Amino acid sequence: MDIAILTLFPDMFAGPFSESMLKRAQEWDHISIHLHNIRDYTLDKHHTADDTPFGGGQGMVMKPEPLFEAVEAALAEVGSAEGQETPVILLTPQGRPFTQAIAQELSQYPALMFICGHYEGVDARVEAIATDSISIGDYVLTGGELPAMVIVDAVARLLPGVLGDDMSAVDDSFATGLLEGPAYTRPAEYRGESVPDILLSGDHGAVDKWRRQQSLKRTFERRPDLLDTADLTKEDQAYLEKLKAGDA
């Protein structure tokens, strides 16, 4: 996957993209990340990328000219592989809320582009070249750089080969509509707390059932809203009834 990121602060990506999974994903050619400094596409000698808003108001607004130029140049670089149009994603608090389902959706494209807004936002005309807008939450950050890092991380781990074991992402929280249950590793006992006996039993069927119930229990306790849209079996529903009644 080719990923183009348009930003005023490309150095912000050096740490997150040069460590751990994202570093390996690039070394193994699963993803290729192209950082475009928006100031390189400005039209004056001072490399001005923002200006005061028409009509007055607080803060500065990112100018349309360098953003249009940057998008066009970046699109020419990543192309539209396999006949698919490259999504041009504007990162903004006004975008659709980012979810695991959207990460899955984006992971199907051969290329992605992210526009990192800054200051008080971007000139509204930039929305004409964006094919999508995404927010990572109902709060305001200083720019779109951190959201870009979050989304790239979430999408990259879904690509074949990135995690090593492609099944690792299958049981992640939200992947099945539920939160993931608790996990344990060695030692089997630590500071008086022991690993549940069922996990040491060797009974894989019983372990799978326990994990499913723990996933349901954790979701019921922490994010009951997810249960409204989760794909639940009759057995799941029966267990939830026990949880509601305090019998589980």
Is 222 tagged catalytic?
A: no
The two tokens of residue 60 are 């500065």
Fold of 171-245: Trp Operon Repressor; Chain A (1.10.1270)
**pLDDT above 90 (res 114):** yes
Please, which pLDDT band fits residue 84 given cuts at 50, 70 and 90? confident
Residue 79 banded pLDDT, cuts 50, 70, 90? low
Does residue 223 have a pLDDT over 70? yes
29 part of the active site: no
Report pLDDT digits (tens) over 130-152.
999 999 999 999 999 999 999 99
Does position 67 have pLDDT exceeding 70, yes or no?
A: yes
Which residue's entry shows tokens 């019983």? 206
Active-site residue among 132, 171, 172, 180?
172
Region 149-178: what's the mean pLDDT? Answer: 82
The pLDDT of residue 172 is 63
Domain boundaries, given as residue ranges, for the chain: 2-156, 171-245
Mean pLDDT, to the nearest integer, of 98-112? 96
Decide if 99 contacts 31 (C-beta within 8 A).
no
From 66, 147, 157, 212, active-site residue = 157
Tell the CATH topology of 2-156: Alpha/beta knot (3.40.1280)
- The per-residue pLDDT for 35 is 97
207 to 112, 132, 192, 198: CA distances (angstroms): 39, 41, 22, 6
| Of 120, 123, 153, 236, catalytic | 120
**Average pLDDT score over the chain:** 93
For 71-80, 93-102, 170-179, which range has the lowest pLDDT when averaged over its residues?
170-179
Phi-psi region of 149 (alpha: psi -120 to 50; beta: other; left: phi over 0): alpha
Selecting among 16, 64, 93, 110, the annotated active-site residue is 93
Sign of dihedral through CA atoms 150, 154, 155, 159?
positive
Active site residue 191: no
Q: Quick check: do 2-156 and 171-245 share a fold?
A: no
pTM given for the model:
0.90
Q: How confident is the model at residue 98 (pLDDT cuts 50, 70, 90)?
A: very high
Active site residue 93: yes
Is residue 171 over pLDDT 80?
no
